[in-house]
Copies of this chain bind each other. A is one copy, B any other.
Amino acid sequence: MKNAWVSETLHSGIELKLRVEKSLYLSNSLSQKIEFVKTNRFGTALIMDGAIQTTTEDEFIYHEMMSHIPLFSHPKPEKVLIIGGGDGGILREVLKHKAVKKITVVEIEKQVIEQTKKYLPQICKDAFKSKRLELIIADGAEFIKNKSKLYDVAIIDSPDPAGPAKVLFENNFYRNISKILKSNGIMIRQSGSSFLQKEELKDNYKKLSKIFKYTNVYITAVPTYIGGFFNLIFASDKINIESLSLATIKKRVQKNKIKTKCYNPEIHLASFKLPNYIREIIGDKK
């Protein structure tokens, strides 16, 4: 394995290569190729169909920004829905919030949970043992149909819009998410690279801003998600991130002391300030 590398082949014309110390698991079924590798520089990595899903060295950025932004934007997040999220990273972060009474994780692949527990235990830690967790193995898009006003926060932790995850980027899905949220609920999803997945961002933003009153893009940077700023989307019918003050967020964070490696109240608001080229993608004429 001395000169082995793994390449991300998600985008055409640009690839990220990570040097591999050891291959831990490889399953090449008809529907999906799943790989766990120990890399030299980013710890253990999970790669699905050629796309890097997560690594133990930089996962904290994505998982914290997907969790603490909605939870500290909400005055009292008691019930949280996670669609996808089989690696347990978002669950781990949501569990840090004392206000949260129940977390429903809807993962389509039981295997993902079992494998990540085995090969990426650093990510989920003890999260799947929590008594506040309701774990459901089902298609997230099916699960949310015909349900209403159940959750304060819904976090869509899906891979890129291809294969089984494609349905999690469609109008129908977003409409059902808006129905399953309580009136002051918040929805969060990732929306890819600001350079390599511009169309995806444009499309997600357009769809969501037709359904929700307030739709905002926020950004971070994750080393193994290449392509510059990484986009996330915040959508709500009642909570306007632009009226949220730093003082309010600080108060909430102080009340619920949590340890984070990326998130803090200043970053919370700063991440919603977008460079002009991202404003342009979403048609924001500010």
Chain A residues 226 to 283 lying within 8 A of chain B, measured CB to CB, are 226-230, 260-264, 266-267, 269-271, 273-277, 279
Q: Which of B7, B19, B266 contacts A17 (CB 8 A)?
A: B7
Residues of B within 8 A of A61 (CB): 228, 275
- Would you call A18 an interface residue if the criterion is a C-beta within 8 Å of the partner chain's C-beta atoms? yes
For this chain, the copies found in one complex come to 2
- The answer to whether A273 and B270 have CB atoms under 8 Å apart is yes
Q: How far is the CA of A73 from the CA of B41 in the complex (A)?
A: 37
Residues of B within 8 A of A271 (CB): 270
Q: How far is the CA of A236 from the CA of B57 in the complex (A)?
A: 34
- Would you call A223 an interface residue if the criterion is a C-beta within 8 Å of the partner chain's C-beta atoms? yes
Residues of B within 8 A of A42 (CB): 13-14
Q: Bits for A23-67, please: 1 = Cβ < 8 Å to B, else 0.
A: 000000000000000011110000000000000011011000000
- The answer to whether A264 and B275 have CB atoms under 8 Å apart is yes
Q: How far is the CA of A277 from the CA of B194 in the complex (A)?
A: 23
How near does chain B come to A15, taking the closest CB pair, in angstroms?
4
- The answer to whether B226 and A16 have CB atoms under 8 Å apart is yes
Main secondary structure of the interface of A (DSSP, over half): loop
Q: Which of B7, B40, B269, B277 contacts A13 (CB 8 A)?
A: B40
Residues of B within 8 A of A41 (CB): 11-14, 196
- The answer to whether B261 and A266 have CB atoms under 8 Å apart is no
**A273: nearest chain-B partner, CB-CB:** B270
Q: How far is the CA of A274 from the CA of B265 in the complex (A)?
A: 10
Chain A residues 212 to 230 lying within 8 A of chain B, measured CB to CB, are 219-223, 226-230
- Would you call A128 an interface residue if the criterion is a C-beta within 8 Å of the partner chain's C-beta atoms? no
- The answer to whether A14 and B12 have CB atoms under 8 Å apart is no
Among A15, A260, A261, the one with the most B-chain Cβ atoms within 10 Å of its Cβ is A15
- Would you call A119 an interface residue if the criterion is a C-beta within 8 Å of the partner chain's C-beta atoms? no
- Would you call A195 an interface residue if the criterion is a C-beta within 8 Å of the partner chain's C-beta atoms? yes
Chain A residues 61 to 118 lying within 8 A of chain B, measured CB to CB, are 61
How near does chain B come to A3, taking the closest CB pair, in angstroms?
12
Q: Which of B16, B58, B228, B267 contacts A222 (CB 8 A)?
A: B228
**A16: nearest chain-B partner, CB-CB:** B16
**A19: nearest chain-B partner, CB-CB:** B13
Known A12-B41, A261-B276, A261-B277; further 18 A-B contacts with Cβ < 8 A: A13-B18, A14-B16, A14-B17, A16-B226, A17-B17, A57-B195, A196-B223, A221-B221, A221-B228, A221-B229, A223-B226, A223-B228, A261-B275, A262-B277, A264-B276, A266-B274, A267-B273, A267-B275
